[in-house]
């Protein structure tokens, strides 16, 4: 059967349905992928393990969860009608509103009939004879597809910490990345939050308002910038919408992180102390992730970075009344921005509340969880509920949970045992017709995910159309092109300060995970250009195979 015509139907040999494309995950990536592939007239089945769409915004329902990119920008740009008609209520939308938006998109573009909810993909095996994938789902079905697209998300595999006694805790245990759907009530309870990354930093102020006492267990202090969140007025929305064409173009083509903002024209050391402070004050007052865009060398030059790190440490000391607590909250083991910077609402001020205690578990590690307490080397803290804000097996974790077998029966986990290897972050050699959206080796988590998702989906769609139009059956990254790309990703990362932090970007939060800088740090604008050039040269660095004769397109 040709892959080049829609091929839905029963595959009697495999015993299940046959599709042109199976997409794994119905978050923002999977939904847009479905929409675009339908536009090519292909048959698509999306499998989603949750019982609703929305991906990260479906799972991360913890108190205070909201986006750290402004919502007018953290939204799809592919449909002007959609971006003109949707009203974001606040500068940074809260999780329920983002989930509502995801559901709106699913309805508006009539995506639901092609999405199977409550269904995991357990296995995907490439059939080298037929150039198709056999995909096994958690409900025991096997389907066949020409292509598989992994839209599994970069931060979707919540990580339970390996702490002795955790399973014996008598109260409720919650993970921020896997929050219950029913309301969680902390009123009158003594609550522990373990972890002070973005999820902890967002949830702590909200939990503190409910709990009788909140104890925050901090291993590493983090840099956080105030969000200064506020309702958006109709005038603000309209003004933003009017400039959408330029905002979206600029974010895609001219930025590193996919966020439209004023671009720096100088380094931190080009200004004197007073001018520098004025600039930092102004960005602090504006709030949010763009704090790192005050100067153009904060990610590159340690001395420059120190000026920004010092500024934020001073702010923490100004906000937090108890000097000892302030000192503990001041990050001191990584340059600002080399771990994902956090965006908060009243995080540091929360430690001025009488019902909040900060415990430094760097000097006094948690030894075990007792049925009613957290035991550190120094003492026991009695608590009624535990909130684990301990993060994710990022970028590779969700892919690793699927048993993916490519050529010669090699599994993707075997291939990635020493770290993920991809060409452009979209394909891995030896795994034909398997695409990854925002995979390792692409800007993904270093960017506004919406920008990176749309770019990958558009590129993959064009690529599949190219194959269809030219009669190609299989496409695969060339090993040599992949090796060069992996080396390039690594080289660029090491021209920056990023590798200096023990971050999840490096896999450092997972014991035993290879420590390799996973995302591509060259920036979304540069990366887009590289991908476009590859496509313009007939998908240089990929091998495309027709039924009769293989065509090789060598990487230069």
Q: Residues in the site for ligand NAP, rule: CB under 6 A?
A: 66-68, 155, 161, 163, 176-177, 194-200, 202, 219-220, 340, 361, 366, 389-392, 445, 504, 509
Spatial separation of the C-alpha atoms in residues 268 and 90, rounded to whole Å = 32
- CB atoms under 10 Å from CB of 438, counted, come to 27
Distance CA(311)–CA(143), nearest Å, equals: 56
- In the complex with ligand NAP, the residue whose CB is nearer, 257 or 305, is 257
DSSP conformation letters of 135-181 = EEETTS-EEEEEEEEE---SS-SB-----TTGGG-SSEEEEGGG--S
The least CB distance from residue 71 to ligand NAP, in Å, is 11
Shortest distance, position 211 Cβ to ligand NAP, whole Å: 19
Of 194 and 464, CB closest to ligand NAP: 194
Q: How far is the CB of 221 from ligand NAP (least distance, A)?
A: 9
DSSP per-residue codes, 174-235: EEGGG--SS----TT-EEEEE--SHHHHHHHHHHHHH-SEEEEEESS---EEE----BPPHH
Nearer to ligand NAP, 454 or 476 (CB): 454
Question: Measured from the CB atom, is 93 or 486 closer to ligand NAP?
Answer: 93
User: Nearer to ligand NAP by C-beta: 358 or 467?
Assistant: 358
CB 118 within 8 A of CB 51: yes
How are strands ordered across the β-sheet holding 380-382? 366-370, 373-376, 380-382
Antiparallel, parallel or unpaired: β 142-150 and 132-137: antiparallel
In the complex with ligand NAP, the residue whose CB is nearer, 389 or 437, is 389
Is-contact 310 284, C-beta < 8 A? no
- Looking at beta carbons only, is 99 or 163 nearer to ligand NAP? 163
CB of 160 to ligand NAP, least distance (A): 9
- Please give the angle made by the CA atoms of 462, 466 and 469, to the nearest 5 degrees: 135
Q: 392 and 155 in contact (C-beta within 8 Å)?
A: yes
Q: How far is the CB of 340 from ligand NAP (least distance, A)?
A: 3
> Whole-number minimum distance, CB 301 to ligand NAP, in Å?
23
Collapsing DSSP to helix, strand or coil, 360 comes out as strand
Q: How far is the CB of 257 from ligand NAP (least distance, A)?
A: 12
Q: Of 176, 204, 192, whose CA–CA distance to 347 is shortest?
A: 204
- Least distance in Å: CB of 394 to ligand NAP? 7
Measured from the CB atom, the residue of 176 and 545 that comes closer to ligand NAP is 176
Q: Which is nearer to ligand NAP, 366 or 400 (CB)?
A: 366
Return phi, psi of residue 254, to 5°.
-110, -10
Gap between the Cα atoms of 67 and 98, Å rounded? 8
Backbone torsion region of residue 345, taken as left when φ is above 0, otherwise alpha when ψ lies between -120 and 50, otherwise beta? beta
Q: Please, what is the minimum distance in Å from the beta carbon of residue 556 to ligand NAP?
A: 34
Q: Write down the least CB distance from residue 159 to ligand NAP, Å.
A: 7
In this structure, the strands spanning 142-150 and 16-24 are parallel
3-class DSSP assignment, residue 403: strand
Whose Cβ is closer to ligand NAP: residue 392's or residue 431's? 392
Task: List b or e across 34-58, with b for residues whose CB sees 16 or more CB atoms inside 10 angstroms.
Answer: bbbbbeeebbbbbbbbbebbbbbbb
Residue 199 or 305 with smaller CB distance to ligand NAP: 199
Tokens of 185: 């009530």
Least Å from the CB of residue 479 to ligand NAP: 31
Shortest Cβ distance from residue 459 to ligand NAP (Å)? Answer: 23
Residue nearest to ligand NAP (CB): 197
Kindly tell me which of 202 and 338 has the beta carbon lying closer to ligand NAP.
Answer: 202
Distance of CA 240 to the CA centre of its chain: 25
**CA distances in angstroms from 430 to 237, 480, 534, 538, listed in the order given:** 47, 12, 19, 20
């Amino acid at each position: 059967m040709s892959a080049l015509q829609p091929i839905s139907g029963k595959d009697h040999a495999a015993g299940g349905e046959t599709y042109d494309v199976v997409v794994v995950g119905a978050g923002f990536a999977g939904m847009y992928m479905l929409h675009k592939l339908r536009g090519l007239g292909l048959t698509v089945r999306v499998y989603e393990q949750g019982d609703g769409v929305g991906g990260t915004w479906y799972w991360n329902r913890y108190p205070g969860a909201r986006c750290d990119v402004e919502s007018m920008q953290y939204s799809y740009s592919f449909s002007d009608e959609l971006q003109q008609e949707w009203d974001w209520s606040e500068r940074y939308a809260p999780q329920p509103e983002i989930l509502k938006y995801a559901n709106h998109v699913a309805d508006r573009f009539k995506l639901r009939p092609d999405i199977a909810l409550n269904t995991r993909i357990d296995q995907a095996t490439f059939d080298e004879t037929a150039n198709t994938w056999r995909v096994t789902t958690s409900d025991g079905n096997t389907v066949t597809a020409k292509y598989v697209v992994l839209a599994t998300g970069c931060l979707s595999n919540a990580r339970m910490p390996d702490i002795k006694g955790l399973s014996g805790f008598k109260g409720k245990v919650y993970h921020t990345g896997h929050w219950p759907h029913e309301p969680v009530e902390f009123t009158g309870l003594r609550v522990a939050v373990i972890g002070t990354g973005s999820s902890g930093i967002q949830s702590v102020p909200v939990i503190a308002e409910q709990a009788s006492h909140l104890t925050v267990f901090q291993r590493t202090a983090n840099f956080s910038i105030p969000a200064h969140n506020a309702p958006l007025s109709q005038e603000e929305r309209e003004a933003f919408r009017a400039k959408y064409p330029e905002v979206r173009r600029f974010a895609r083509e001219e930025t590193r992180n996919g966020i439209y903002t004023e671009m720096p024209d100088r380094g931190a050391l080009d200004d004197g102390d007073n001018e520098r402070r004025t600039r930092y004050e102004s960005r602090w007052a504006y709030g949010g992730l763009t704090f790192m865009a005050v100067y153009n060398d904060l990610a590159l030059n340690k001395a420059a970075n120190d000026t920004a790190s010092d500024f934020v440490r001073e702010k923490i000391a100004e906000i937090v009344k108890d000097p000892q607590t302030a000192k503990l909250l001041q990050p001191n083991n990584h340059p600002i921005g080399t771990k994902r910077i956090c965006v908060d609402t009243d995080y540091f001020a929360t430690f001025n509340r009488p019902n909040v205690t900060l415990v430094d578990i760097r000097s006094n590690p948690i030894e075990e969880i007792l049925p009613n307490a957290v035991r550190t080397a120094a003492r026991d803290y009695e608590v009624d509920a535990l909130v684990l804000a301990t993060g994710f097996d990022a970028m590779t974790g969700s892919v690793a949970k699927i048993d993916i077998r490519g050529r010669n029966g090699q599994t993707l986990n075997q291939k990635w045992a020493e770290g993920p290897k991809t060409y452009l972050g979209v394909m891995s050699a030896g795994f034909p017709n398997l695409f990854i959206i925002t995979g390792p080796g692409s800007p993904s988590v270093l960017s506004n995910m919406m920008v990176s998702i749309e770019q990958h989906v558009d590129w993959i769609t064009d690529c599949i159309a190219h194959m269809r139009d030219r009669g190609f059956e299989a496409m695969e990254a060339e090993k040599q092109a992949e090796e060069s790309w992996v080396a390039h990703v690594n080289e660029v990362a090491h021209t920056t300060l990023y590798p200096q932090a023990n971050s999840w970007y490096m896999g450092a939060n997972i014991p035993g995970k290879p420590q390799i800088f996973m995302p591509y740090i060259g920036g979304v604008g540069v990366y887009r250009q590289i991908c476009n050039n590859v496509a313009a040269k007939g998908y240089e660095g990929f091998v495309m195979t027709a039924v009769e004769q293989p065509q090789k397109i060598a990487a230069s």
